[in-house]
């Protein structure tokens, strides 16, 4: 799986220290690093990241994703984990898609 993840350095400035429990990744060896990144973001930054993911989802939905692949639009920050988990649904390619978007967002 890791060979398909973009190799960009991540640059994250810690603004919060939340203890939200994320579990949307299943196959990544580095999943706790991504969860830690999300826990360092304030609400505005989480919304911005999710909007970034959602906009790319809309672009890819036209050509790459199946019609039954649904990512809910942003409602509140506490729904991010559930939305991403239901979108990924234990699919490695979707998990790589989300991880790559997080990595690109923070490069």
| Predicted confidence (pLDDT) per residue in 44-63, tens digit | 999 999 999 999 988 888 77
* Contact (CB, 8 A) for 101 and 56: yes
Entry pTM: 0.84
Distances (CA, A) of 9 to 31, 38, 78, 81, 100: 16, 16, 27, 23, 12
Q: How confident is the model at residue 1 (pLDDT cuts 50, 70, 90)?
A: low
pLDDT for res 3:
67
């Amino acid at each position: 799986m890791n060979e398909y993840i973009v190799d960009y350095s991540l640059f994250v400035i810690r603004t919060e220290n939340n203890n939200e429990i994320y579990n949307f990744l299943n196959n990544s060896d580095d999943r706790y690093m991504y969860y830690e990144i999300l826990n360092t973001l304030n609400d505005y930054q989480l919304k911005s990241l999710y909007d970034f993911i959602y906009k790319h989802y809309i672009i890819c939905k036209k050509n790459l994703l199946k019609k039954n692949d649904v990512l809910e639009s942003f409602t509140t920050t506490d729904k991010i984990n559930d939305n991403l988990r239901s979108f990924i649904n234990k699919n490695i390619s979707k998990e790589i898609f989300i991880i790559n978007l997080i990595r690109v967002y923070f490069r």
